[in-house]
Structure 1
Amino acid sequence: MPDAELIPLLAKEVVKLRVSSVLNRDTKTYGKQHLLDASEETCWNSDEGAAQWVDLQFDRPVEIFAVHLMCQGGFVPREAKLTAPPPSQATDAPAAAFTFYPDDVNSRQVFTTDAPLRGNHFRLHLSTSSDFFGRVTIYHLQMYGREVVA
């Protein structure tokens, strides 16, 4: 972890979100906006499918050192991987990745890395849900890190 204080990076003003799916296309009840609303009463709920994802596009470069996640027990990804594409799309370099394994519980979980991911665009891949149909339910998502100063 860095010496400097880590800050929450996800805010409606600085990040654009896209998600793989929304349960029954009911974006009002289960849409992506609930990932950032800081309410434990609302959630993003994916539809059925083997692999779900959340895309995060920041308006500035950041370094991510930690992911905070709270899912609905029974609808938890067994594996999660945060990726950042290489700085240049012209390169064959692999995307930087941070893989973690959430427990199938209803409580907040924190996952940290000593090798931060850096960039403006990230994808959180949510694989192999504990739900038989592949649905994922997230009540809380936050990334902690710092802005990259050029």
Structure 2
Amino acid sequence: MTDPRSFDTVEALEACVGEELGVSDWIEMSQSRILRFADATDDRQWIHLDEVRAEAESPYGTTVAHGYLTLSMLPRITAEVFTLKPRVAGINYGLDKVRFLAPVPSDSRIRGRVVLDRVLRQKPDTIRVHLTVTVEIEGGDKPACVAEAIALYIVAP
């Protein structure tokens, strides 16, 4: 695992608006992970779980990860890419836009490119960070997902 880019102050993070902050490590999207996600969410569509049927009937020739499983990797991706040192807590605030552009085949690997779009000061101890995360599939022609993610960070004075 690579060390995340570290920001010692909110001002240092603000100075990077518009920049790509970095790229995460590769994440294995194993069939086992897909099965665990299906169990956790009760989303048991055959295209995710039935390897024999997916090989025979799916346009992808294999099972694929749930779109929301791919999306659920965003906290891991962003944590691998950057850290804000005066942060006391980080809270997922929401998403402005999400597009699933390509399926993630089981047993493939994904990684995320993180661009810092905005840093807004909410209160003296709270900032809102807007990021665009592009989730790439190893060897893929197009991204699996592009998401505009928003996080709130409580920062130490």
Mark yes or no: TM-score above 0.5. no
User: Which structure shows the bigger proportion of residues in strand conformation?
Assistant: 1
- Higher fraction of helix: 2
Higher relative contact order (CA 8 A, sep 6+): 1
Higher Cα Rg: structure 1 or 2?
2
Structure 2 length-normalised TM:
0.23
